[in-house]
Structure formats: C-alpha cells, structure tokens
Structure 1
Amino acid sequence: MMEGIHQVVSQLNGWLYYPILIILLLSVGLYFTIRTKFIQVTLLKETFKVLTESPDRADGVSSFQALMVSTASRVGTGNIVGVSAAICLGGYGAVFWMWIVAIIGGASAFIESTLAQIYKKRDEEGDSYGGPAYYIENGLKNRFVAIIFALSIITCYAVGFNMLASYNIQSSFSSYDFYDAELTPMLIGGCLALLTGMVIFGGGKRIIKTTEKVVPVMGVIYVLAAVIMIVINFRQMPQVFENIFSDAFNFKAIFGGLAGSSMMHGIKRGLYSNEAGIGSAPNAAAAADVSHPVKQGLVQMFSVFLDTIIICSATAFMGLSSGVQPSEALSGAPYIQEALSTVFGPFGFYFISLSLVLFGYTTLVGNLYYVDSNIAYIFGKTPGKMFQLFYRALCVGLIFFGAIQEQTFLWDLADLLMGLMALINLPSILLLGHQALAALKDYLQQRKAGNNPIFKAQSIGMDDQVLDYWQ
C-alpha cells in the first residue's frame, strides 16, 4: 500500500514542479525583486536596524523573537541532510540553484510577511496573530481558498515536514555501531516525540521562548565549524566554486533529465530549506509587535538569507572542500559526516548528529507553532482543550511514525505538500502585492523624513475597518 501511495506522490510531484512551480517561483520572485528595486540589497542595513528594536509593548513579541520562530522552522534538518541530498543526487550545481531560490525568494518573503502584518488581528490579550489565511480571506475575499490553505499548511508541517525531520534526525545515527535498523529508529522517534510533546503542550508562548534561546547558539556553532573546515581546506575553494558554476550551467545535463538535475534538486531543497513564498513564515511574522508592517517584512527577508546563503552554504562548503566525493550512497547525513571526519576525526560524526538533533528539534517545535495558528483560524478561535489535546497528541504520534518510514517517500511527500502551499500562496501575494509595495513606499517616505515609521491604513489607501488591528 505504501509503495502505491509513493508512486502517486512521486508522479504528482513531477507535474507540480515542472513546469508549474519552477515558472511560478522564479517569475513571482523576479517580479517583486524588480518592483522593490532589489530590496534584498538596498535595505539590508535597514534590516539590521529593525532587528535590534524592542516591541512596542513591554510583553509583546519582538521582531527578533518572530525571526527566531520562523528561523526555527526554516533552519532545520534540510540545512544539513537536504543540502547533502541535493549535492549527492543532483550534483555540485544544486548549490547555485539553492542560492538563486534564496536571493529571488527574499523579495517574495518580504511581500508575504508584510501582507501578514497588514492583515493581522488582535486577540483578547492584545497580542497579534495572522498569516496567509487571513490575507487571503480579507484581501481576496475568499474564505474557501483561505481554509484550503490553512488545511494545506497544517498537513504540510504536522505530517510532511515533521515526519521528514524525525527521519533525518534518526538517520544520522546510522553510521554508529550501536545502530539497529529495526530498533534504533523507534527509540529515537519515541524520544523526539516525548521531548516535542513536553514543549507543545505548554502552548505557543513556550515555543517562542524555547526557540529564541536555542536557535542562535545552534546556528553560530554550526557556522563556526564550517569556517574552520573552509580555512583548513581554503586551497580547494576555487575548485569548489568552479564546479558549482560549471555544473549549474550544464544545460545539456539539466534538460536531458530534469527531474534528477542539479536545477530541480537545488530548487526543491532550497525551497524546503528557506520556505520563501510558500506561506509559512507569515504566520510568525504576524505575531511581531512592530510599528509598521514593513519592519517585519524586512526581518523575514533576512531569515531567508540566514537560512540559505549562510547556513546551507556552510553545509555545502564543508562537504565540497573536504575532498570526499558526493555520491548517491552517501546521500544525506553520511556525506557531511564523512566530510567533517577528514578534519575532526570521529568527532565529525558526533557533531553532525548533535547538530541534526538541535536543528531538527527546533524544526519540530517551530512547525507546530504554525499548526496551532491555522487550526485557530479554521475554528475562528483557539479550540477547546480536549481538541487541542487530541491534535497535539496526533502530531506527537506522527513524529514517532516518521522516524520509521522510508527516506525517499518522506522527501517526496514533503515536496508535494510544500508545493501545494506555494501553489496557493504565490498567486495570492501576486494579487495583493501592490498593498505591500504601497506600505514599502510609505515606510521609506517616513524614514526619509527622519521619523520612526508608524503605519496607518489610510496611508496605503485602505479602510482601517478592514485592517482592524491598525485602527
């Protein structure tokens, strides 16, 4: 039965990604890059300034905290296992196409997160919440599509992404002598389910506090290890870049077998890693307590760069500079573990296992923050305690189930569910993008006048009754 399901999922992926999503992702990203006048570069300094700002309310969620929640989901096992798989299965050029998805996707990330801020709502405690479901319903006046999107993000993160993250974590232990193919995945899956349950049964606030502490430390240590590898193997770096660019533009190889090409693997793994344009990060962005929507748009744009340009590149350079040749047999954690062992010896294996546990754990936790948000949207309020207990228990069970599944099926399932989200969100932000662009113009005008930008609905030609949070 599972084999039949896998065949259907794989076939659907082929139709969805080529040509539909490749064209949609790149064209929407390029459109907003041009319309924002290359905001990824021109407002990078402003982004760092916004990151250091405190929330408007003493107990509000800061831009930095919202960044950490979205980064907890973005920065995960895909940054290690996903990058390794893309290189081992697609070739060196996959790294280039991951960069392209991140650079172009940064503009899409800005638009979707700015829209989430524009259309966000206020709860009884004064906190804000929102996401694509809210701007689809209130901006496009279509609750049916909004509910479909909410269901797609719930399924993608609770089922596809969390099952895959669980598998990726346990697979990093396959290199050790104690690993038993039957028993070890169940033990690790059980531990992950238990640890995740301890956090998610505490609610969204605990998720924010947990990710805020773990993510920065996790990212810094990982990048430092990459820097050490690159410094030691610096003579290999010119050849690494040559291999990346020559393979990326080997169009004969790409179009000879597109499904397994560096372009396709790079786009899929890049999108899986940074999530730009698929509609996940706006759920965290809407929670930030800022004076102007553009501030959080800039922060979420930076999260895409942090994820792919820095952390994914760190993984790629560690592997490609080591001298270990990527191959299908080493796809996933083993390739990066072998690469690190050339410098750090056996510690390289331990380090990747620890990194995957930390990256993966924050992914599991951050993903379920999005699930909470969209279940609340469908119900129109936070569901009752019994329902919360049921679906969180189900989410925990899926984490255990994912650890004992087959790798290829889990990647294909995650790709399909992620693609369906993008298929709804990208056209939505394209239709509503003019509002985010108007907000950007208003923001820049206030900055030019020397003011701290404060948003008013009238400033972008909208009714403050529609944007009730900004009244």
Structure 2
Amino acid sequence: MNIIEKLITGGNTLLWGYVLIAVLLLLGIYFTIGSKFAQVRYLREMFRLLRVKEKNPENTSKKQISSLQAFFVGAGTRIGTGNLAGVAIALAIGGPGAVFWMWMVAILGSASSFVENTLAQIYKAKDNGQFKGGPAYYMKKQLNKKWMSFIFAVMMILSYGTTFNAVQSNTIAVALENSFGISPVIAGIALVILTSLVVFGGIKRIADISSIIVPFMAFGYILLAVFVVITNITEIPQVLSLIFKSAFGMEQVVGGGIAAAIMNGVKRGLFSNGAGIGGDPIAAATASVSHPAKQGFIQALGVFFDTLLVCSATAFIILTSDAYGSGLTGIELSQAAMVEHFGTWGGIFLGIAIFLFAFTSIIGCYYYGEANLPFISKSKTFLNFYRILALGMVMFGAVANLQIVWDLADLTMAIMALVNLVAIAILGPIAFKALDHYMKQRRLGKEPVFYRDDIKGLKGVEAWPIRKKKTMNNVV
C-alpha cells in the first residue's frame, strides 16, 4: 500500500504541481482571447438564456432534457464536496490566498467551459429519444482519435464514475456522523439504496431530481453566507486583504507560501467547478437547444455560480470564524465555522446541505461514467459490472480514509483533464466560429438556430439538421 500511495502522491505532484496548472491557465487565457472575453462580455446574455424556452420543432420528445435541466445536472455534479469540504482543505493547506486563485480559475475556466460545452453540443448524438455526448464524442468524430476517446472514457469511469462518488459519500458520512451521530456504515447503506433508486431511472430522472434539490439548497446556503458577511461586515476588509496578500506570498499563513496557495487554489477550484476537465460537457450534451453556443453560455455561467458564489460563501464563513487556524480541515472545519456563526442548527443545516449537494453529485457523476461506457464496451454485462462497482465505491467512500480517496480523485481527474484539454485546444476554433455564428444572429434580433452545415469542416455531426440551400449565406 505504501508503494501505491507513493505513486499516487508522485503523480499528483507532477501533474498538479507543474503540468496541469500551466496548461489550465494558458488555455484559459487562449480561450478568453480567442472568444474575445466572451465570459465577461456576454454575461447578460447568459442570464437571458436561463429564461428562454426553446421552440425547436426538431426536438419534441418528452424524454429530452431542457437547457436549464442540463444546467442543474452540471451544477448538481459540481456543487458538492469541492465547495464545502474542498474549500476548507484548500484554506487549511494553502491559506487564504487559495481563494484568490480559485477566483482566477473560475474567470479563465469559464472560457474553457464555454468551449468544451459548445463542442459537446455540436457533436452530440441521439439515442432512444434522448441526446448524449461529451469529450469522447468530439475526440472520435472530429479528431478521429478513438484512442483518446478510450483513455478519456476509462479515466472518466475511474474518476467521476467511481472515485469521485467515494469522495462525495465520504464527506456525507463524516457530516452525518458529526451532525446527527449516524454511523458511517448506516450512512453508506442508505446512500447506496437512494442512489440505486435514482440512477437506474436514467438521465431524465437524474435531471428532475437535480432541478429540485440544487436551486433550493444552493440559494439557501448563499443566503446564509450573505448573513455572515453582513453580521461581520467590519471584518470583511481584513479578510479580503488577507486573501490578496496570501495569494502572492506577501504574508505567510497556515500552510502558507505562494506555491501552496496557487496549487491548492487551482486544484480545489478545478475540482469544484470542473472547467476543462470534461465532465460538464456530458451534461451539456443532453440539452435540447436551438444552437450549441446556448448551452456553452449556460454552462460557462455555471462556473461563476459554483466558484464565485458557492465556494466564496464557504470561504467567508470559515475566514470570519475562530475555527480557521484551529487545526481542523475538510468538512469538520466547515461545520465548526457554521456552528460558531449559527449555533447548533448551523451544523445541522450544513449536514443536510452536504447530504443533498453530495447526493446530486453522486447521481450526476454516475451518469457521466455510464455515458462513456460505450467507448470501452457495449455489453450489458459490462454495464451491470459498472453499476455494481459505482455503488460499491459509494459504500467504500463512506467508511474509507479521507486522504487516500481525495488523492485518488485528484490523480484520475488530472489524467482525464489533460486528455480533454489537448482535444479542446485543437478544436477551440470551431467553438469560436459557433460563437460568431450565434452572435451574428443575436445582433439581428433573432433567436439563434444552428444547422450542421453552418460551419465548414465539421465531421460526424448527426444531431443537427441540414440547412436548406436558399439560406446558405449563414455558413461560417
């Protein structure tokens, strides 16, 4: 076991300490410039799209997922332990400066998110009345790299489909034990049963459940954070100053130094919002929209929602409490801060919030893994094996050691992210063309629509109709 731990630690040090941080930041800058700062310039358009009801005659199946439902599936998968336990770990190890680097990852990552989710929409496929897609699809169709699709699919199953679910159930078990005295074994069994009831109902049931839980709990949690900020308003300038000083190594703090702040801020920020990793596009591909860029915008907004709101909420709750610097880490630190601000019921609320957030993450992550199974094997036996493995990891996570689970999640996510980042770096110009095509129609006051021949050079596009010849002037 010692050798395995060393390999995992060494792999994480190499990928997270050097390779991925550089690639993520460089590609985030590239996509920001290539899209002409779309994540900032078109923020108002993103909010407009949340209210748009699609009227696309091509998509009439009751099985299909709306744009907002796909957003909530993605948000449900993102908003979980990364926002609550992950932020606490980043603060404990990297200091307050980690928060600043989380913000930077969100701003740059939003552009990366737009690119990968727009691509997922372009190359989605239709299966039994529903859409499906993701990085493995655009790697195979446009790049014609089946080996990339295979590697991505394997890493997706090992990370989101299994290891991530162990991370989520681990956090749930700890939170329920701290708040209600529930045994981790009992928590694990209950989670396995609840997960089984939802995931076997398919993406539609997952979307329905996420659409109920995510907005209710997320906005409730943010309101609590706003209350903390208001009641501690005199401390906020000091907290902000500490964040910025620590971010650039100007002040040594717990686990301090600029290297620790950057590494933990980027790692936990990415783990939380998922920009560039390749998981979110799987949810985005399920949406029924009239133009690929619509879902690109929606999911890009999701990155801001996840990190700038929910992660920041956790950070301010912790940094304005005496729990910070107490030696606690993970969900225990978040709970201690909540109890200090709100009394016993604050810890109880966080226990419930952790359960619901992490549960939506588990069911979303499960689907992400299942959606990639065909790139490895299409047999029913393999599907059943995956289901047993995924549920087993939920149980394992409830009783496992926290650190080894987090380290495994970091390593598998890093490999998967690297494969996806290579693909979207190559395919980025296609997403830029889709953006230009979308905005050209918006400037004319139209609700944008897309046809497979509107962008030259696309390969393997099957879910979008062909434009009639008399309107071919929209081709880019």
CA distance in 1, matches of 2:269, 2:403: 17
Match of 1:444 in 2: 439
CA distance in 2, matches of 1:268, 1:54: 36
Q: CA deviation at 1:260?
A: 6.9
Is 1:14–1:259's contact at 8 Å kept on the other side of the alignment? no
TM-score (norm 2): 0.92
1:337 is aligned to 2:311: no
Match of 2:320 in 1: 321
Counterpart selection for 2:76 from 53, 72, 79: 72
CA distance in 2, matches of 1:173, 1:281: 28
Q: Name the CA shift for 1:109/1:177 in 2 (closer, same or farther; >3 Å).
A: closer
User: What secondary structure does 1:310 align onto?
Assistant: helix
- Quick check: 364-373 or 51-60, which moved more? 51-60
Match of 1:106 in 2: 110
User: What secondary structure does 1:172 align onto?
Assistant: helix
Identity among equivalent pairs (%): 42
CA distance in 1, matches of 2:369, 2:273: 18
Counterpart selection for 2:145 from 142, 145, 161: 142
Task: Map residues 219-298 of structure 1 onto 2, 5 A cutoff.
Answer: 219-250=218-249, 261-298=260-297
CA distance in 1, matches of 2:339, 2:124: 48
1:370 is aligned to 2:405: no
Match of 2:457 in 1: 462
Match of 2:172 in 1: 169
Deviations 1:140-176 (A, max 9, x none): 1111111111111111012221111111111224545
Q: Name the CA shift for 1:187/1:259 in 2 (closer, same or farther; >3 Å).
A: farther
Is 1:96–1:244's contact at 8 Å kept on the other side of the alignment? yes
User: What secondary structure does 2:454 align onto?
Assistant: helix
Match of 1:407 in 2: 402
User: What secondary structure does 1:80 align onto?
Assistant: helix
Is 2:191–2:395's contact at 8 Å kept on the other side of the alignment? yes
Match of 2:157 in 1: 154
CA distance in 1, matches of 2:127, 2:308: 36
1:217 is aligned to 2:212: no
Counterpart selection for 1:347 from 345, 348, 362: 345
Q: Name the CA shift for 1:30/1:251 in 2 (closer, same or farther; >3 Å).
A: farther
User: What secondary structure does 2:396 align onto?
Assistant: helix
- Quick check: 439-448 or 340-349, which moved more? 340-349
Q: Structure 2 unaligned runs (5+)?
A: 466-476
CA RMSD between the two structures: 1.9
* Structure 2 counterpart of 1:9, one-letter code: I
- Quick check: 265-274 or 198-207, which moved more? 198-207
CA distance in 1, matches of 2:99, 2:190: 33
* Structure 2 counterpart of 1:239, one-letter code: Q
CA distance in 2, matches of 1:74, 1:429: 20
CA distance in 2, matches of 1:84, 1:124: 42
Is 1:333–1:352's contact at 8 Å kept on the other side of the alignment? no
1:197 is aligned to 2:196: yes
Q: CA deviation at 1:251?
A: 6.6
Is 1:337–1:349's contact at 8 Å kept on the other side of the alignment? yes
Deviations 1:372-416 (A, max 9, x none): 21113444x6x53x5433321221111001111111111111110
* Structure 1 counterpart of 2:86, one-letter code: G
Is 1:105–1:276's contact at 8 Å kept on the other side of the alignment? yes
User: What secondary structure does 1:128 align onto?
Assistant: strand
Q: CA deviation at 1:4?
A: 3.1
- Quick check: 294-303 or 228-237, which moved more? 228-237
* Structure 2 counterpart of 1:363, one-letter code: S
User: What secondary structure does 1:470 align onto?
Assistant: coil
Q: Name the CA shift for 1:173/1:103 in 2 (closer, same or farther; >3 Å).
A: same
Match of 2:49 in 1: 50
CA distance in 1, matches of 2:189, 2:247: 40
TM-score (norm 1): 0.93
1:129 is aligned to 2:132: yes
Q: CA deviation at 1:449?
A: 1.5
Q: Name the CA shift for 1:252/1:311 in 2 (closer, same or farther; >3 Å).
A: closer
